[in-house]
Amino acid sequence: MFLAGVMAIQSELKKQLKNRFSDRVRFDEPMTAHTTFRVGGAADAFITVSDESELTYLITCLKENNLPFFIIGGGTNLLVKDQGIRGVVICLTKGLAKISQHGAITLSALAGASLSALCRFAIKRGLSGLNFALGIPGTVGGAIRMNAGAGNGDMSDVLESIRIIGPDGNIETVDKTGLTFSYRDLSFADENCRELSSSVILEGRFSLSHQRPEFLKAEADALLNARKKSQPTGFASAGCFFKNPENRESAGKLIDLAGGKGFRVGDAAVSEKHANFIVNRGRATAEDILRLMNIVQEAVFKKFNIMLEPEVKIVGD
């Protein structure tokens, strides 16, 4: 999430942040180390929070100082531009990763927990409903925000409620009835008249169903093997780059039919294995990836009159 207003981080604030977060705050931190694309310039500051109270304190502090911030999990589904990110990047993966069971069929996971860890947690306890998410990279918070999914399900199928830090700094719970799910997006229901982007997702609660662990494990193995066969490995990427157009062929199929497999700009390339993956073959820049994105969009539009929209979030300067 970004907040409006950009200004330099003053020395007094730097000192304050250093005193509070010690070695968990880094200034002019290269984002190449924090994204799966392995590209991007530096963030003015990069802070890893250890719990909810630190996160609330930090958000309040940054708002008081009119500094923008951006929440990051595993750095998947994210392209940071070469000039970096102004303001503060807040990382949740170290301190907000707890997963818990509540009653017979309900799980909760903090936003920084990995999606794969949540899936494994459910399988071990014989809880069905999350296997669709196996192999989807990233964290629970990002998966909720993007309504992540695959052909056999998405987060809307299992999400019961979320806890958020609202724009006023207060923590609240929003039930599923207060949310609107769409393809790779989540928003508040219309009657709330507010933007989810102005809040920070802290936790998700999921309603599942019983199934034998051995059945779930076999299903999981089959799903993961199918993904490994169809998706590229060995090069950095951010997962599927484009959204699938509604009621049309998948983005990967359209790119393939438009001759896009193997398109390349510098070390950024369209995967020969799956055309909806742009991969970093070693020394790609964000600009290389963005130029390749435009080339792919133009090729698909020319052949099918369809403008592909990025699923990957593009942030920074």
Q: Evaluate whether 234 touches 131 at the Cβ level (below 8 Å).
A: no
Which residues fall within 8 angstroms of residue 34, CB to CB, at 6 or more apart?
A: 46, 72, 75, 89, 91
316 pLDDT more than 50? yes
Q: Which two tokens stand for residue 89?
A: 């990047």
Q: Evaluate whether 158 touches 208 at the Cβ level (below 8 Å).
A: yes
173 pLDDT more than 60? yes
Residue 79 burial (C-beta neighbours within 10 Å; 0-12, 13-18, 19+): buried
**184 annotated active-site:** yes
Question: How many Cβ atoms sit within 10 Å of the Cβ of residue 194?
Answer: 11
Q: How sure is the predictor about 3, in pLDDT bands with cuts at 50, 70 and 90?
A: very low
Query: Would the pTM count as exceeding 0.75?
Result: yes
Domains along the chain with CATH numbers:
11-91 (3.30.43.10), 99-222 (3.30.465.10), 232-315 (3.90.78.10)
Catalytically annotated residue among 29, 54, 203, 311:
311
Catalytically annotated residue among 26, 120, 184, 291:
184
**240 annotated active-site:** yes
193 pLDDT more than 70? no
**pLDDT by residue (tens digit) across 275-295?**
999 999 999 999 999 999 999
Instruction: Identify the residue with better confidence: 204 or 234.
Output: 204
- How far apart are alpha carbons 264 and 273 in whole angstroms? 14
Question: How many Cβ atoms sit within 10 Å of the Cβ of residue 117?
Answer: 14
Q: Collapsing DSSP states into helix, strand and coil, what is residue 230?
A: helix
**264 annotated active-site:** no
